[in-house]
Amino acid sequence: MSAHLPAPRTDAEVPAYWRGLGLPGLVDLHVHFLPDRMQQKVWSFFDAGEENYGTSWPVHYRLTESERLVRLRELGVVAFPTLPYPHKPGMSRWLNEWSAEFARRTPGCVQSATFFPEAGVVDYVGAAIADGARMFKVHVQVGGYDPADPVLDPVWGLLADARLPVTIHSGSSPMPGAHTGPEPIRTVLSRHPQLAAVIAHMGMHEYHEHLDLALQFDRVHLDTTMFGTDYVEQFAPLPPDLLPRLAALPERIVLGSDFPTIAYAYAHQIEALHRLDLGADWMRGVLHDNGARLLGLPPRSTA
């Protein structure tokens, strides 16, 4: 990276960084907004990080909903989802309704939805698409289900046909599940090769195995959520031989942050990507262009 563009060390330095790259802002495909009661329960879970994950997980942005939106605007995040996800049956429909209402009243928010292997899933996913959902989220470890469950097969087909991105937490870190790892997702993709799967956390810690999916399937992307940060390097370090593979996939890597439930400042995610030293064009793609293209947003002017 050019010495004339230092990595941002604080959130206040983030806008100068993306402006220095000639970008109109950041497109962050891994942001969470949830109903307040559910958000508080999520934060309580992470407050018990040492018990649940074996390491402390201090929530850096424990703010009100309105304060979090202000912070995103100050950072220059111009597009972001809500990414709801259920942990049991009967949650998805109301989460989708809440997310749709939130997106309608929130500039820059990409309407998001989710699903679970249960009766009626095809109907409510179809209804969410018809209502304007532009992105979906599933969490294999939290949900505890096999994404290749036959009940979900028509849902994956709907999403592939609609060409809508689906963020999938399939990696086995920080906590493995019965169906985490790349193979269940590979099974899904073999049935629906045009599915726009966005592998959360770069597939942490199975980085190489999830990158293999992007080489095999044309619409697989990976998001940078927590990748390369000092926090994650403690338990899922970046393999040294991964960098050439990242450089060879400049259009398949998209920005993700996991805001607000991260254990460090937002700027540190961008700093971690900057110090990979993969070049300004790679950073432009990751921080804006690749996510904008995946969401169908207008391309930025390069004049």
Q: What angle do CA 292, 293, 299 make, to 5 degrees?
A: 75
Structure tokens at 148: 């290749």
> If residue 284 lies in a helix (H) or strand (E), which one and from where to where?
helix 280-284
Q: Which segments of 34-152 does DSSP mark as H helices, in order?
A: 36-47, 49-52, 65-75, 92-104, 121-130, 140-143
Pairwise CA distance, residues 246 & 5, whole Å: 21
Q: pLDDT at position 2, please?
A: 47
Mean pLDDT (10-residue bins), the chain, 303 residues: 80 98 98 96 87 83 98 98 95 98 98 98 98 97 94 98 97 87 97 98 96 97 98 93 96 98 97 97 98 94 71
Q: Measured on CA atoms in the order 102, 80, 167, 203, is the torsion positive or negative?
A: negative
Return all residues near 119 (Cβ < 8 A) that are at least 6 apart. Answer: none
From the list 181, 184, 202, the residue with the least C-alpha distance to 256 is 202
Q: What is the CATH number of domain 11-294?
A: 3.20.20.140
**3-state SS class at 109:** strand
Q: pLDDT at position 189, please?
A: 98
Note the pTM of the prediction, 2 decimals: 0.96
Residue 173: alpha-carbon gap to chain centroid: 15
Domain locations in the chain as residue ranges? 11-294
Return all residues near 270 (Cβ < 8 A) that are at least 6 apart. Answer: 7, 8, 14, 17, 287
